[in-house]
Structure 1
Amino acid sequence: MRRHHRDALIARLPARGQRMAAWLLAEEHKIPRMAAGSLLVVGGVFSFLPVLGLWMLPLGLLLLAEDIPLLRGLCTRLLVWAAQKRPDLFTLPAKEAPPAPKG
């Protein structure tokens, strides 16, 4: 369930964001994933500062949940709650059809 929701959110990212997420979520990149997750959580805690934002906190928790079993349940509940509130965020975006030829 958590991975399905996570993958649906990643699919909504631009191509560069999708590549970065795929790289971070690869099994062999545990240390960079833990570092990025920790930095995002710290940035989310200090969201009152002008450059940082509260959006960093859930993103950091999602990254840390990949390696910390204690956070997996929390993140699953968070994703299920978000999917109930905003189901449009968790549907895979449809590919735009090319314009029909004129003539």
Structure 2
Amino acid sequence: MTRRERRFHRQFHALERIVPLLRAPLLRLRRDSWFPVRFPLAILLTIGGLFWFLPILGLWMLPAGLLLLAIDMPRLRGPISAFIIRGRRLTQRWARRWRDWRRRR
């Protein structure tokens, strides 16, 4: 397993730790036998994420779709891993600032 693949799999494990409810679906979707379900789902989530401004769809769909798409497209693993890492760091920074702001009030 290459360095890029290990980094990619660490992002799955990090997401599972952050949102424990995602653990079972992510484990199931990562299996090779789930390709016929995973690939169309990844495409639909990515397209839905592009229309995030519509009431039913959301921006969360874009990274979820790209993450699932990267399972089957190895060239996407590096950029998607970096994107997920940056997103997690940004979220942690916002949460820290929010906690600090709440304490000062």
TM-score normalised by the shorter chain: which range applies? 0.7 to 0.9
Corresponding residue for residue 31 of structure 2: 26
Determine which structure has greater relative contact order: mean sequence separation of CA pairs < 8 Å that are 6+ residues apart, divided by chain length.
Answer: 1
Kindly indicate whether the alpha-carbon contact (under 8 Å) linking 1:2 and 1:79 is maintained by their aligned counterparts in 2.
no
Residue 3 of structure 1: which of 9, 13, 17 is its match?
A: 9
- The residue number in structure 1 matching 2:48 is 43
Deviation of 1:14 (Å): 4.2
TM-score calculated relative to the size of structure 2: 0.71
Which of 52, 65, 73 is the equivalent residue of 1:68?
A: 73
Q: TM-score, normalised by structure 1?
A: 0.72
Determine helix, strand or coil for the equivalent of 1:9: helix
Q: Distance in 1 between matches of 2:29 and 2:19?
A: 14
Question: Which residue of 2 is the match for residue 58 of structure 1?
Answer: 63
- The alpha carbon displacement at 1:30 in A equals 1.1
> Rg bigger for which structure?
1
Structure 1 runs (4+) deviating above 6 angstroms are: none
User: What is the Cα deviation at residue 67 of structure 1?
Assistant: 0.4
Q: How far apart are 1:86 and its partner, in Å?
A: 4.1
Greater share of helix residues, 1 or 2?
Answer: 2
Count the aligned residue pairs: 87
Q: Find the aligned partners of 2:56 and 2:88 in 1 and give their Cα distance.
A: 28
Shift of residue 85, structure 1, vs aligned partner: 3.1
Cα deviation code 1:36-70 (max 9, x no counterpart): 11110010011111000011001100000000122
**Identity among equivalent pairs (%):** 36
CA-based RMSD: 1.9
Q: Distance in 1 between matches of 2:84 and 2:13?
A: 11
Correspondence for 2:19:
13
